[in-house]
Structure 1
Amino acid sequence: MNKLHLVRRALLCLFLFLFLNATPLAAQRSIQGTPISFLKKHASVFSKKTKEVKVPALNMTRIKKEDAANSSNRFAAPVPVNYTLQNSGEWTDLEDGGRVWKLKLKAKDALGIFILYKNFYLPNGARLFVYNQNKTQILGAYTNQNNAKTGQFLTGMIDGEIAIIEYYEPSYAKNQGRFEIYEIMQAYDREKIESDAPSQNYSGFGQSLPCHENINCSWGDSLQTQKRGIVRMMTVYNTGIGWCTGSLINNAENDGIPYVLSAHHCGFLGANIANFSLWRFDFNYEFSGCANEANEPTFVSLLGAEVVATAEPSDFLLLKILVNVPSTYNAYFNGWDREDVVPSAGYIIQHPFGDV
């Protein structure tokens, strides 16, 4: 949820935002729907169990050393893989001429799984889902609307150590779809893995501090328009995944170009290399009222950006999201001016530790 606090009351929170919130840690656009294999009319052809593919384990010795050296809050780390529609998974033919490809991944001891794709292309009519073994968590359907010029794609975290990928293509699109799964980001927690304790929520939800107040408390009454421009950013690096915050920002042409103003340290963290084409921008990530709620709020997302400008001394980063913001997101482009006048008051709207 967006958090709001007055600058004069938030020095500690601001420090945490600047120096912890962007440390590399270990729903973009989709349409609602149901995976084909879930439908009763196809129960007979999907009666056999899908074979598991074991994902290489994380090198926890190396990760511990890296985290100790960098005081890192990283919660997910990558392992390279090579899974394609040709060399992995199983195809099932349907009576109507369509077909379904399924791949079941198991990353032992992982608390969650992110999947990274390249050469990603879905033809018209094709649908991609990712879900857990119990079918209680479903991501997708992803369609040709998710094709990007970069050819890269990322699906969000599936809780636990098993994720099932299901790709459907209709008869008229046979052999047209393609993608390569080249990396699996595995969520981990050093102490909990070693003690066999239950896993915890790694979405960022519930991680903020008492000094972070919700945007829909009385403090935010005058900022209900501006809050619609604030985005939570899931930042992807070669070393893992983390969180930051940015704001949609208007330009002099007032033409809706999706510029996002954020901080240099969000994208440039020492030797870590940011993959901006896989950064995810979450809109409307907030509770409906002032009080914290037990369940994470729903939100909408866009995937991918490019760097327009950045500078370390002033710690600014200007990004451009690769696709326009849909009108249904009800987003607001926050403004600016060039007057040399110091504001009498200031506010910070952010997502501490990736929380609401």
Structure 2
Amino acid sequence: MKKYIFSAFYLMSFVLSQKTIEGLPMSFNNQLSEEYHVIEMPVVDVQKLLDEDAIAPAGTPTRYGKSHYVDYNLENSGTWEVIPSQGRVWRLKIISRNAFAIGIYYDNYLLPEGAIFFVYNENEEMVHGAYSALNNQDDGLFATPLIEGDSIILEYFEPDNASFNGNIEIERIVHDYRDILNFNNQNTPSSRCGTNVVCPEGEDFIDQINASSWLDMGSYICSGSMINNTSNDLTPYYMTAWHCTDGLNESTFRFYFNYETETCEGSSASNGSHSYGSILIATSGDVDPDFTLLEITDEISDTWDDVFYAGWDRSSSPPLINSGVHHPGGDPKKINFDDDYAQHSPGINWQDIGYSPPGSHWGVIWDVGCTEGGSSGSPAYNSDGRFIGQLTGGNSWAYYGKFSRGWDGDSPSSRLKDWLDPDNTNQMTLDGIYVDPDHPVFELNNVTFAEVYGDNDSVINPGETGEFVVNIEVPEV
């Protein structure tokens, strides 16, 4: 018996929010030809890509995919077949040898009512769809999630009574050479760059963890955070780094909120709930202070009661840091800890992405954890659990673009205050809020770290032992 994994099933299990409707590919229930058009991508030199990744400059998003730019559509590719008295079916098989998974990006997607579109792997165990006219966008852009394996089948059904001929034009095929979603369950998450958020150490930082997500930008990975505004109206604003999003199509981004391991020591992780698509609201346009504010256009379902819209603090005084949440190297969600005041940054030359002047970032040396590619755009929080900046990068120091520095700017498109304080309250701080207003909000009062055995430098280094104490208020529920 074949095991089918459908997007509709995901909607029940993980509340995935990219719009799909019920249905099966027509080839599953109709006797169609086994012969149809197959296209094979050029061979990918994985070692060359890995070597390039190893020397990528600090602050570079984690790359997981090789993009093949193509121009395939319903007219110049694939095979059509007629189903009498119903309509016609178009199928195309794409092979990218040795890919762990394949993702497809489209630059002209427009379907008539009644038409349905699927992508699935060769053994038909992973099926995404049915996509339909509900997925039509004004810009014509569309993307389908990664499908496990090195071959993918695209199938489109157009009914006889369709009001027009649909358009499906493929712009880019992504060859996943890292198994970024760990389909094979062989990746071992880094134990160096943070603690798995499901570990006991993360329990008291649940709000900060629930605000953060893994950001898939199509062959590259960053991190980011939901963020609240003074109207507390759950506008789905999302903060990440400018250098993550620059030059990319925000309308095809995917936001995975619960990509985390199942156990503290485990490596297995489910994708969790995700939203698809966003629009650019405001951006610094450079690495001073390297922010992008997006608005997610897909639904943040009210059944996702564990999505937190982080509060913030726009003070220009150095904050006392307590945590940072991120996806280092594209790993499942991690958390870092600290109990020191951030420092004003020096001037920094970020090589390929520009120069940030002195004082544009908060500098942090994490007591527990570190950052690496994939952590870019991730949030740092102060001792009140409020957002104070998003990560640009760094080595021994991690540098977070100051939230306070992004507050003002020349226009609404280059500053935060118009969006995060729409009523011009001039608040300096704001608490966070859950999608579900009855969800408990944890208030962190104090976090302290102490070295128990080691060199007495007040830092818990590898091979030493220590303890941390958390003072926390939990409201009654």
What's the TM-score once normalised by structure 2's chain length? Answer: 0.57
1:332 maps to amino acid: F
Structure showing greater radius of gyration is: 2
Aligned counterpart for 1:321 among listed residues 279, 290, 296: 296
Q: More helix by proportion, 1 or 2?
A: 1
Q: Quick one: which of 190, 195, 200 aligns to 1:209?
A: 190
1:187 aligns with 2:176: yes
Q: CA deviation at 1:256?
A: 2.5
Question: Shift in Å at residue 185 of structure 1?
Answer: 1.9
| Alignment partners' CA distance in 2, 1:216 and 1:67 | 29
1:264 counterpart = 2:238: no
Q: Which of 243-252 and 324-333 deviates more?
A: 324-333
Alpha-carbon distance in 1 for matches of 2:269, 2:232: 37
- The correspondence of residues 150-229 of structure 1 with structure 2, limited to 5 A, is 150-173=139-162, 175-188=164-177, 201-203=179-181, 206-211=187-192, 212-229=194-211
Shift in CA distance, 176/329, structure 1 to aligned 2, threshold 3 Å? farther
**Alpha-carbon distance, 1:86 to partner:** 1.7
1:194 maps to which residue? none
1:252 to partner: Cα distance: 1.8
Instruction: Decide whether the 8 Å contact of 1:128 with 1:166 is kept in 2.
Output: yes
Alignment map for 1:100-179 (pairs within 5 Å): 100-173=89-162, 175-179=164-168
Equivalent of residue 35 in structure 1, options 15, 25, 28: 25
**Partners in 1 of 2:261 and 2:82 — Cα distance?**
44
Moved more, 287-296 or 298-307: 287-296
Q: Which amino acid aligns with 1:267?
A: T
Q: How many residues align?
A: 307
Cα distance in 2 for residues equivalent to 1:156 and 1:210: 28
**What is the rounded CA distance, in whole Å, between the counterparts of 1:37 and 1:146 in structure 2?**
22
Rounded Cα–Cα distance in structure 2 between residues aligned with 1:317 and 1:230: 15
Q: Which of the residues 258, 280, 292 maps onto 2:254?
A: 280
Aligned to 1:92, what secondary structure does the other structure show? strand
Distance 2:327 2:49 in 1: 26
Within 5 Å, give how 1:286-297 maps onto structure 2: 286-287=260-261, 289-292=263-266, 294=268, 296-297=270-271
Q: Which runs of 5+ in 1 are unaligned?
A: 1-26, 189-199
Identity of aligned residues (%): 33
Question: Which of residues 292, 307, 330 in structure 2 aligns to 1:354?
Answer: 330
CA contact 1:287–1:293 (8 Å) conserved in 2: yes
- The one-letter amino acid of 1:315's match is D
Alignment match, 2:41: 55
Larger RCO, structure (CA 8 Å, separation 6 or more): 1
**Matched residues in 2 for 1:278 and 1:92: separation?**
30
Moved over 6 A (4+): 59-62
Partner in structure 2 of residue 251 of structure 1: 229
- 3-state SS in 1 of match to 2:18: coil
Amino acid at match of 2:295: K
Q: Distance between the aligned counterparts of 1:349 and 1:170, measured in 2?
A: 47
Give the CA RMSD over aligned residues.
Answer: 3.0
1:292-348 Cα deviation digits (max 9, x unpaired): 253534433312432512251333322222344232333321112445665544211
Deviation of 1:134 after TM superposition, in Å, equals 1.2
Q: Deviations over 1:23-61 (max 9, x none)?
A: xxxx6614354322112xx1x2x1433231233445779
Measured in 2, the distance between the counterparts of 1:59 and 1:81 equals: 18
Q: For residues 110 and 224 of structure 1, do their structure 2 counterparts lie closer, same or farther at Cα, with a shift above 3 Å needed?
A: closer
Note the 1:23-102 alignment, pairs <5 A.
29-31=18-20, 33-39=23-29, 42=30, 44=31, 46-58=32-44, 70=56, 74-102=63-91
SS at match of 1:80: strand
Structure 1 residues 336-355: aligned runs within 5 Å: 336-339=312-315, 343-355=319-331
Matched, 1:234 2:216: yes
Structure 1 residues 59 and 328 mapped into 2: Cα distance closer, same or farther (>3 Å)?
same
CA shift for structure 1 position 171: 3.3
- d(CA) in 1 for partners of 2:159 and 2:300? 29
**CA separation in 1, counterparts of 2:239 and 2:54?**
31
Q: Are the aligned partners of 1:216 and 1:290 in contact in 2 as well (CA < 8 Å)?
A: yes
Cα distance in 2, alignment partners of residues 204 and 307 from structure 1: 32
Q: How far does the alpha carbon of each residue in 1:227-262 deviate from its partner, in whole angstroms, 9 at most, with x for none?
A: 3322210123xxxx1111111111122232221111
Shift in Å at residue 177 of structure 1? 2.1
Distance in 2 of aligned mates of 1:227 and 1:295? 15
Structure 2 gaps of 5+ residues are 1-15, 333-477
Q: Match for 1:279: what amino acid?
A: F
Q: TM-score, normalised by structure 1?
A: 0.74
Q: Indicate the larger mover: 285-294 or 216-225.
A: 285-294
| Local SS of the residue matching 1:224 | helix
Provide the residue aligned with 1:303 in structure 2: 277
Secondary structure of 2:202 counterpart = helix
Change (3 A) 1:224 1:179: same
